[in-house]
Chains A and B, each alone.
Chain A
Amino acid sequence: MSDIPSILEQRFADAILAQQATRDEIPTLWIKPASIREVLQYLKYQIEQPYRMLYDLTAIDEQARTHREGQPDSRFTVVYVLFSFERNAFLRLKIPLTDEQPVAPSVTSVWPSANWYEREVYDMFGIRFDGHPDLRRILMPRTWKGHPLQKCHPARATEMGPFQLPPEKQHEEEEALRFRPEDWGLKPEEVDPEHFMFLNLGPQHPGTHGVLRLVLELDGEEIVRIIPDIGFHHRGAEKMGERQSWHTYIPYTDRVEYLGGVMNNFPYVMAVEKLAGIEVPDRVKVIRIMMSELFRISSHLVWYGTFAQDLGMMTPVFLMFNDRERIFDIVAAICGDRMHPNWFRIGGVVQDLPKGWDKLIKDFLDYMPGRLKEYDKMVMRNSLFKRRTIGIGIYDTDEAIEWGVTGPGLRATGLEWDFRKKQPYSGYDQFEFDVPIGKNGDCYDRAVVRVEEIWQSLRIIRQCVENMPSGPYKADHPLTTPPLKEYTMQDIETLINHFLGVTWGPVIPPGEAMVGVEATKGHNSYYLISDGNTTSYRTRIRTPSFAHMQFVPIISRGYTIPDLLAILGSVDYVLSDVDR
Chain B
Amino acid sequence: MSETWIHIIMVVLILLVLLTIAAGLIYVERRMLAVWQDRYGPNRTGPFGLLQVLADMVKIFFKEDWIPPFADKKVFVIAPTIVMMAVLMSFAVIPFTPGIGVVDLNIGVLFFLAMSSMGAYSVVLAGWASNNKYSLLGGIRGSAQMISYEVFMGLSLMGVVILAGSFNLRDIVEAQRKIWFFIPQIVGFVIFFLAGLAETHRLPFDIPEAESELIAGYHSEYSGMKFGMFFVGEYLGITLISALVTTLYFGGWLGPHFLPPIVWFLIKMFAFILLFILIRATLPRPRYDQLMSLGWKVLLPLALLNLLVTGAVVLYWHL
* Any B CB within 8 A of the CB of A63: no
Whether the pair A199, B213 counts as a contact (CB closer than 8 A) is no
Q: For chain B, residues 204 to 234, give those with C-beta under 8 angstroms from any C-beta of chain A.
A: 204, 206, 210-215
A571 to chain B, nearest CB (A): 15
Contact A312 B204 (CB under 8 A): yes
Q: Is the CB of A315 within 8 A of B281?
A: yes
Tell me if B178 is interfacial: C-beta within 8 Å of chain A: no
> Chain B residues near A221 (CB, 8 Å)?
137, 140
B39 — nearest CB in chain A belongs to which residue? A318
Tell me the bound Cα distance from A197 to B136 in angstroms: 11
Query: Quick check: is A433 within 8 A (CB to CB) of the other chain?
Result: no
Interface core residue of B36, B137, B285 (most chain A CB under 10 Å): B285
- Asked if A207 and B212 sit within 8 Å, CB to CB, the answer is yes
Residue of B39, B137, B206, B213 ringed by the most chain A CB atoms within 10 A? B213
A565 to B134, CA, bound (A): 14
What is the minimal beta-carbon distance from A213 to any residue of chain B, in angstroms?
Answer: 14
- B44 contacts partner chain A, Cβ-Cβ < 8 Å: no
User: In chain A between 342 and 401, which residues have their CB closer than 8 angstroms to a CB of chain B?
Assistant: 378, 382, 384-385, 387-388
User: In the complex, which of the residues A197, A220, A314 contacts B133, with contact meaning CB atoms closer than 8 Å?
Assistant: A197
Q: For A311, what are the chain B residues with a Cβ–Cβ distance below 8 Å?
A: 212, 284-285
Any B CB within 8 A of the CB of A146:
no
Q: How far is the CB of A352 from chain B (nearest CB, A)?
A: 34
CA distance A301 to B33 in the complex (A): 20
Main secondary structure of the interface of B (DSSP, over half): helix
Choose one: B133, B284, B289; the contact of A382 (CB below 8 Å).
B284
Q: In the complex, which of the residues A314, A378, A387, A565 contacts B213, with contact meaning CB atoms closer than 8 Å?
A: A565
Smallest CB-CB separation from A200: which chain B residue?
B133
User: How many CB-defined contacts (below 8 Å) exist between A and B?
Assistant: 78
Of B33, B140, B215, B285, the residue contacting A312 (CB under 8 A) is B285
Interface centre among A200, A308, A562 (most CB of B within 10 A): A562
CB–CB B204/A384 < 8 A: yes
Complex Cα gap A318–B37 (Å): 6
* A311-350, CB < 8 A from B: 311-315, 318-319, 322
Total count of chain A residues near the partner, CB < 8 A? 30
B288 to chain A, nearest CB (A): 8
A309 neighbours in B (Cβ, 8 Å):
212
Residues of chain B lying within 8 A (CB to CB) of residue A384: 204, 283-286
Please give the distance in Å from A83's CB to the nearest CB on chain B.
Answer: 35
Q: Which residues of A contact B36 (CB under 8 A)?
A: 315
Render B176-216 as a binary contact track against A, CB cut-off 8 A, 1 for contact: 00000000000000000000000000011010001111110
**A388 touching B284, Cβ below 8 Å:** yes
| A residues in contact with B59, CB < 8 Å | none
- Whether the pair B287, A206 counts as a contact (CB closer than 8 A) is no
Does A310 belong to the interface (CB within 8 Å)? yes
Give A197 to B33 CA distance when docked, in angstroms. Answer: 37
Query: Which has the most chain B C-beta neighbours within 10 Å: A322, A378, A561?
Result: A561
Say whether B4 faces chain A, with CB atoms less than 8 Å apart.
no
The 10 A-B pairs with the shortest beta carbon distances in the complex, nearest first, are: A312-B285, A318-B37, A311-B284, A313-B284, A207-B212, A312-B284, A562-B287, A384-B284, A310-B212, A315-B281
26 A-B interface contacts by CB (under 8 A): A199-B137, A206-B211, A206-B212, A221-B140, A309-B212, A311-B212, A312-B203, A312-B206, A312-B210, A313-B282, A313-B283, A314-B203, A314-B281, A315-B33, A315-B36, A315-B37, A318-B37, A318-B39, A322-B38, A322-B39, A385-B284, A388-B284, A388-B285, A561-B213, A562-B210, A563-B287
B interface residues with partner A (beta carbon < 8 Å): 33, 36-39, 133-134, 137, 140, 203-204, 206, 210-215, 280-290
Q: A220-B140, A562-B213 are in contact. List 15 more A-B contacts (CB 8 A).
A: A199-B137, A308-B284, A311-B212, A312-B204, A312-B206, A312-B210, A312-B283, A313-B285, A315-B33, A322-B39, A384-B204, A384-B285, A388-B285, A562-B210, A565-B213
